[in-house]
């Protein structure tokens, strides 16, 4: 009896491993930032290199940080969704223009529309490293108390926004973790 049980058991274990391996999302890495305070950056504004913007200015208010670049295909894909989310006005969207060219980025916003309340220009990718960004588009939700509540990697859609972000908005506004 044992003679048959052992190979069948091993086979079942292998099938189990493979099955769960198939279903797992190996592309999206968990962010160590969730539940911690959002890294502070001070960068020049996209539209004016003489003016700076720091996310410290947003203390006490929830906001969304969207990391994008004109070289990023997924960013073009999600742009319509960002415009719709901005139109609803539930929470302001801050843009982080990552490793990009200022002129190209301004042209992009002019051509496709500008969903961002303000866009910071991170030409050297320093703020992006502090935020643990590895692949645009990435979208963070930051609460009123300054903690990172959620991170979404991959293009945003209105459906994902409604299902994964909107339920977190009361928490983001209250600022309690």
Partner 1 sequence: MKQFFLALVLALCGLQAFAIDKAPAFEDPVQQARYERLSRELRCLVCRSETIADSNAQLATDLRRQLRELMAAGKSDQEIMKYMTDRYGDYVLYKPPVSPRTWLLWAAPALLVIGGGIAAAIVISRKSKLSDTDPADPGLGDT
Among 121, 131, 140, 165, binds partner 1 (CB under 8 A): 131
What x/- string results for residues 36 through 75 when contact with partner 1 is judged by CB under 8 A? Answer: ----------------------------------------
Rounded Cα–Cα distance for residues 34 and 124 (Å): 24
Residues 141, 31: Cα–Cα separation, whole Å: 12
Q: Helix 73-88 vs helix 102-112: angle between axes, to the nearest 10 degrees?
A: 50
Dihedrals phi, psi of 112, to nearest 5 degrees: -100, -10
**How far from 162 is each of 36, 115, 167, CA to CA, in Å?**
23, 17, 7
Tracing tokens 């223009």 back to the chain, one arrives at 97
- For position 92 contacting partner 1 by CB under 8 A, the verdict is no
Shortest gap between Cβ of 90 and partner 1 (angstroms)? 28
Q: Among 83, 92, 96, 91, which Cα is nearest to 54's? A: 96
Question: Which residue of 130, 154, 164, 168 would you call a contact of partner 1, by CB under 8 A?
Answer: 130
Q: Is 123 in the site for partner 1 (CB under 8 A)?
A: no
Binders of partner 1: how many residues, by CB under 8 A?
16
The reply to whether 129 sits near partner 1 by the rule CB under 8 A is yes
Q: What's the min distance (Å) between Cβ of 126 and partner 1? A: 8
Residues that bind partner 1 (CB under 8 A): 29-33, 99, 124-126, 128-132, 134-135
């Amino acid at each position: 009896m044992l003679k048959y049980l052992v190979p069948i058991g091993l086979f079942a274990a292998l099938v189990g491993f493979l099955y769960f391996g198939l279903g797992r999302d190996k592309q999206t890495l968990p962010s160590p930032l969730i539940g911690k305070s959002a890294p502070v950056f001070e960068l020049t504004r996209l539209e004016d290199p003489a003016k700076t913007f720091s996310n410290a200015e947003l203390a006490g208010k929830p906001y969304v940080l969207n990391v994008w670049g004109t070289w990023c295909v997924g960013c073009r894909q999600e742009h319509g969704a960002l415009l719709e989310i901005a139109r609803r006005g539930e929470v302001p969207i801050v843009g982080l223009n990552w490793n990009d060219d200022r002129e190209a980025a301004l042209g992009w916003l002019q051509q496709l529309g500008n969903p961002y309340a303000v866009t910071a220009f991170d030409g050297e990718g320093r703020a992006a490293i502090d935020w643990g960004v590895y692949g645009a588009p990435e979208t963070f939700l930051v609460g009123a108390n300054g903690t990172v509540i959620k991170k979404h990697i991959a293009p945003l859609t209105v459906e994902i926004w409604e299902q994964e972000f909107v339920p977190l908005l009361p928490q983001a506004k209250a600022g309690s973790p």
